[in-house]
Structure 1
């Protein structure tokens, strides 16, 4: 099975479960160079907060954009923006990526920033 197809299959089952929870979701996308995070409303039609390694404010003082330190910076930034928008409880949508490395670093930083999943 192709790698991306397997990832999308895992994402599909996770998103079906998150829809039943009816809470905002913190979705993450990972590429070779960058990491993106968004908090999407429970209805799925509005992006409440977004952060990525493309933003200058997030990457200031970091060595690169494709490491765990950058992922932690994105997690901290998304937590701050979500809490400013009044969101404290989210469901973590890892988009089929395995909970390891940069995805785990982002999740841990978001938890430390005050988000509850």
Structure 2
């Protein structure tokens, strides 16, 4: 039986998340990325306490990229999340790309976050 795209996406996301759980022995916060067709959003999540420490998205009007999902917007969101993470006292995270491949917009976001001072 052929699996549909959504089922394959969910399997890929679970596979990635389970690998992250095995790697994350020191309970570092997780930088979670979500990419839709029109927007991009990231959160830094503390899984131990179950709270979001910082977040950034292209939906924020001050970003100037509402409804845009391109590499330039991803880089700006990456820089914003790095700045907000520093304010929250977070320097090191685990990068959770979900089921999205690490290229294009996701890679641009990660590079900008690294340039902003986040370590992963």
Q: TM-score, normalised by structure 2?
A: 0.88
Query: Is this contact kept in 2: 1:19–1:42, CA < 8 A?
Result: no
Deviation readout 1:26-73 (Å, 9 max, x if unpaired): 0000011000100001416100000000001222xx597211000001
Aligned-partner Cα distance in 2 for 1:2–1:83: 40
The equivalent residue for 1:45 is 50
Pairing 1:88–2:95 present: no
Between the aligned partners of 1:4 and 1:29, the Cα distance in structure 2 is 15
- The more displaced of 81-90 and 9-18 is 9-18
Structure 2 stretches lacking a partner, 5+ long: none
C-alpha contact 1:7 1:95 (8 A) present in aligned 2: no
Which consecutive residues of structure 1, in runs of 5 or more, have no partner in the other structure? none
Aligned partners of 2:49, 2:75: CA distance in 1, in Å?
A: 25
Query: Size of the alignment, in residue pairs?
Result: 115
- Report the CA distance shift for 1:58/1:19 in structure 2 as closer, same or farther (over 3 A): same
More displaced, 104-113 or 13-22?
A: 13-22
Deviations for 1:9-30, whole angstroms, at most 9, x for unmatched residues?
1211221222231211000000
* Alignment partners' CA distance in 2, 1:12 and 1:92: 14
1:23 aligns with 2:25: no
Distance of aligned partners of 1:17 and 1:34 in 2 relative to their CA distance in 1, 3 Å threshold: same
- CA-based RMSD: 1.7
Distance 1:44 1:4, change over 3 A: farther
| Higher deviation after alignment, 73-82 or 6-15 | 6-15
In the alignment, what sits opposite 1:65? 68
